[in-house]
Structure 1
Amino acid sequence: MEYIQQNFNVNFSYGVFFSSHLFDPANNCLATFLESKAEDAYVKKLLVVLDGGVAAHHPQLTQQIQQYFRQVKGFQLAPEIITLAGGESVKNDLPLLFSLVDAIDKYGIDRHSYVIGIGGGSLLDMVGFAAAISHRGVKHIRIPTTVLSQNDSGVGVKNGVNYKGKKNFLGSFAPPAAVFNDPVFLTTLDARDWCSGMVEAVKVALIKDAAFFERIEATAVAMTAGDMPAMQELIYRCAELHIQHIGGAGDPFESGSSRPLDFGHWSAHKLEQLTNFELRHGEAVSIGIALDSVYSFLLGWLSAPDMQRILTVLKNMHLPVWHPLLEKQGDKDSPVIAGLEEFREHLGGRLTISLLRAIGKGEEVHQMNLDLLYQAVDICKNNQ
């Protein structure tokens, strides 16, 4: 037998920038980044895809973007700023995905140019995937505009769309060229999006940083009421922990089945699907965190007071800890709990679920006791 072995490493590096009033002409944060990537020999192109909800709440934004990029040397903005409706529906619309691919083709966005997504996590997921499948990978820049995308999805390496009712069934690992977090965009969020975005910080604190959880616990009521400095502190630390995990865990593209950052997500993904995405992602994750925290308590891993602390923090953030779909439906299993096998397929490999040994310390298991799960459901129901 003859055989040739190929081995190589690909280095990925990107920055997450925190800067207020990003498109103010006096703010050179984004311009400096782009100009550092300019080439003397030719002009690179920029295609901006904007969340329609963001555009509606910031009516001068489109004009500000156009004016801002006129001053950036070495780059030319495409003549159209594409505005799309945001929210989960954008990830359920394959024709919309391919219309964006068509725009990348129409405006000559090559692999040296950039697609810039401005919006919530769903829009950024779709834009990143469109860029990833065009020309085998066009560079993309993310400008997240929600709490959830600034502290979690927008700073990671994943993107994708839903297919056949399955969350992120189509997708890729395509790191952004850069991420720019501007707190001004958070000022126009509605209460549900403001609150639900905080849950990813609760998640990462519970599995990685007990001191961070204590800080969240102390400020949860104030943040829920709109304390922006506390929110910015939460976003920064949450993003930092996510970045550290992605780069430091040795599996940034999740080739194995271990996914501790999915704590609380196995049931959340199914809840989103079953409610036709009426539940916000963060709301579904809150329920999932509550369920898995109570399950950890029933295993004897988590103390009763710590379990109650977690539920109290979630409720102080005005987030749910239970949903009727967690219960058995007549003589049939809960459709959420029946989704465990679907989650295993999503992981690719054996079932791996993150639970809590203690606040700040996650641990993985490879099976779930259904009797204990239903007990956990009852406890969540009684604590809602």
Structure 2
Amino acid sequence: MNLTSISQTFSVNFNYKLHFTNGLFELSNPFFINLIREYQNDGQVKLIIVVDKNVSDANSNLLDDISSYTLAHNAHIDLKEIIKVVGGEASKNKQANVERIWKSINEKSICRHSFVIVIGGGAVIDMVGYAAATAHRGVKLIRVPTTVLAQNDAAVGVKNSVNAFEKKNFIGTFTVPYAIINDFDFLKTLDQRDWISGVAEALKVALIKDADFFEFIQNNAKQLSDRKMQAMAPLIYKCAEIHMHHISQGGDPFENGSSRPLDFGHWAAHKLEQMTNYELRHGEAVAKGIALDVTYSYLIGLIDEQTLNQILEVFYTVGFDLALPISNTKTVDKLLKGIEEFREHLGGRLTITLISGIGKKHDVHQIDKERMQQAIALRSIEQQLFS
């Protein structure tokens, strides 16, 4: 018997939406219940809600508001449990946090027609998303990001992950959330570090994709530093829009290739987070990583002195500290190890995104080690090249 290969091709359409509201769990706000009823109008939908402890601590009425809201709509919502989890990058470092979500999904009989709702910063959303994506091969997830970084970047995409082997996002999935809900009221309780941290991701996409967006950030840098919502809200919207368009129109939503332009500045950022035991916020590390890579772009002749200083000045005005935590040759070598780890994480050929101008990305496939060491030295002493 001569057997030949069987080949089949299929495609799957994904649809997910990013919504905007204020006061998500206020009784007068019908948005959340309408979203649930849109999925299933007859009978109850089972939910478990996972809340970042940092968020519940900062919003003292949140858990009571959730309980009151779901009770008021108990004809359609069957709230099984509210779980508080540790916030920040620490949430992604212990398998026990994932197992706690799995345990609740199992014990509360959460099925693939139920929902896991996660309310928190990007790290908690990553961790809970991974747990939901791997239980029953995928329980429906609704993300409610509560930081600038999560609302404009971390919660917008299709990635979920936890850390392992001292590597960020080593274990994870690509899973499309059912919905994302940005409630701007959560941003009011952020401390200053978290308020400005997410601006780094907006500057990232502006620098590689949209010169007009960079100009908006430049013109509003002081207002962003001063916590003006009239500047932050359009920044979040535009940044999220660019991210979602990239995912849907970029042709590689699950990153099968070796290029990740939206990770501009991230090879260093990921390593800096690990080197500082995650004391750096992700956005803070991204700001440092972008500053390093634009300095390197200058040193190899991709951008001029004026462009470099223009970019750095915007970061400084927003409030970022761009100094690298580098004190000796050993730490320089440790940071440079992040280049190979980045290639390994992507797989295949090394691809590092730089810029050849504002709004103009430029991919390179090798790094001049001597020039990069020079860039690291310049960024380690916290000065503009031509002050």
TM beyond 0.5: yes
Q: Which amino acid aligns with 1:60?
A: N
Q: Secondary structure at the match of 1:80?
A: strand
Q: Counterparts of 2:34 and 2:4 in 1: how far apart (Å)?
A: 51
- How many Å apart are 1:80 and its aligned residue? 2.3
Q: Deviations over 1:135-174 (max 9, x none)?
A: 0000000000000000001111001100011100010001
Q: Deviations over 1:57-112 (max 9, x none)?
A: 11111111122223447633334210112100000010111111000111111000
| Aligned equivalent of 1:16, options 18, 23, 48 | 18
Report the equivalent of 2:305: 304
Q: Counterparts of 1:310 and 1:210 in 2: how far apart (Å)?
A: 11
Q: Counterparts of 1:218 and 1:247 in 2: how far apart (Å)?
A: 29
Report the equivalent of 2:160: 159
Q: Counterparts of 1:55 and 1:177 in 2: how far apart (Å)?
A: 23
Report the equivalent of 2:357: 358
Report the equivalent of 1:346: 345
Residues 49-64 of structure 1: pairs in structure 2 closer than 5 A: 49-64=50-65
Report the equivalent of 2:194: 193
Q: Is the CA contact 2:296–2:372 (under 8 Å) kept in the aligned structure 1?
A: yes
- How many Å apart are 1:333 and its aligned residue? 4.8
Q: Is the CA contact 2:44–2:78 (under 8 Å) kept in the aligned structure 1?
A: no
CA RMSD of aligned residues (A): 1.5
Aligned length: 381
- How many Å apart are 1:334 and its aligned residue? 2.3
Q: Counterparts of 1:82 and 1:50 in 2: how far apart (Å)?
A: 6
Q: Which amino acid aligns with 1:53?
A: N
Q: Is the CA contact 2:127–2:160 (under 8 Å) kept in the aligned structure 1?
A: yes
Q: Secondary structure at the match of 1:12?
A: coil
Q: Secondary structure at the match of 2:222?
A: helix
Report the equivalent of 1:132: 133
Q: Is the CA contact 1:326–1:377 (under 8 Å) kept in the aligned structure 2?
A: no
Q: Is the CA contact 1:151–1:236 (under 8 Å) kept in the aligned structure 2?
A: yes
Q: Is the CA contact 1:87–1:123 (under 8 Å) kept in the aligned structure 2?
A: yes
**2:96 matches 1:95:** yes
Report the equivalent of 2:283: 282
Report the equivalent of 2:383: 383
Q: Secondary structure at the match of 2:136?
A: coil
Q: Counterparts of 2:62 and 2:332 in 1: how far apart (Å)?
A: 49
Q: Which amino acid aligns with 1:82?
A: I
Q: Deviations over 1:189-242 (max 9, x none)?
A: 011111111100000000000010011011111111111110111100000000
**Percent sequence identity over aligned pairs:** 48
Q: Deviations over 1:317-371 (max 9, x none)?
A: 2212221338623xx8521112211111100111110000110011111110011
Q: Counterparts of 2:41 and 2:30 in 1: how far apart (Å)?
A: 18
**Deviation beyond 6 Å, 4+ runs, structure 1:** none
Structure 1, unpaired ranges of 5+: none
Higher mean C-alpha displacement, 374-383 vs 343-352: 374-383
Report the equivalent of 1:3: 5
Closer/same/farther in 2, CA of residues 31 and 326 from structure 1, 3 Å limit: farther
Q: Counterparts of 1:327 and 1:111 in 2: how far apart (Å)?
A: 52
TM (normalized to structure 2)? Answer: 0.95
Q: Counterparts of 1:326 and 1:161 in 2: how far apart (Å)?
A: 29
Closer/same/farther in 2, CA of residues 230 and 352 from structure 1, 3 Å limit: same
Q: Which amino acid aligns with 1:182?
A: D
Q: Is the CA contact 1:38–1:73 (under 8 Å) kept in the aligned structure 2?
A: no
Q: Secondary structure at the match of 2:334?
A: coil
| Aligned equivalent of 1:30, options 32, 57, 69 | 32
Report the equivalent of 2:172: 171
Report the equivalent of 1:232: 233
Q: Secondary structure at the match of 2:223?
A: helix
Q: Which amino acid aligns with 1:167?
A: K
Residues 113-124 of structure 1: pairs in structure 2 closer than 5 A: 113-124=114-125
Q: Counterparts of 1:177 and 1:81 in 2: how far apart (Å)?
A: 19
- How many Å apart are 1:303 and its aligned residue? 1.5
Q: Is the CA contact 1:78–1:107 (under 8 Å) kept in the aligned structure 2?
A: no
Q: Which amino acid aligns with 1:383?
A: Q
Q: Is the CA contact 2:115–2:142 (under 8 Å) kept in the aligned structure 1?
A: yes
Q: Counterparts of 2:327 and 2:244 in 1: how far apart (Å)?
A: 32
Q: Secondary structure at the match of 2:11?
A: coil
Structure 2, unpaired ranges of 5+: none
Q: Which amino acid aligns with 1:279?
A: L
TM (normalized to structure 1)? Answer: 0.96
Q: Counterparts of 2:170 and 2:327 in 1: how far apart (Å)?
A: 23
Q: Counterparts of 1:280 and 1:77 in 2: how far apart (Å)?
A: 35
Q: Deviations over 1:288-314 (max 9, x none)?
A: 000111111112111211100111111
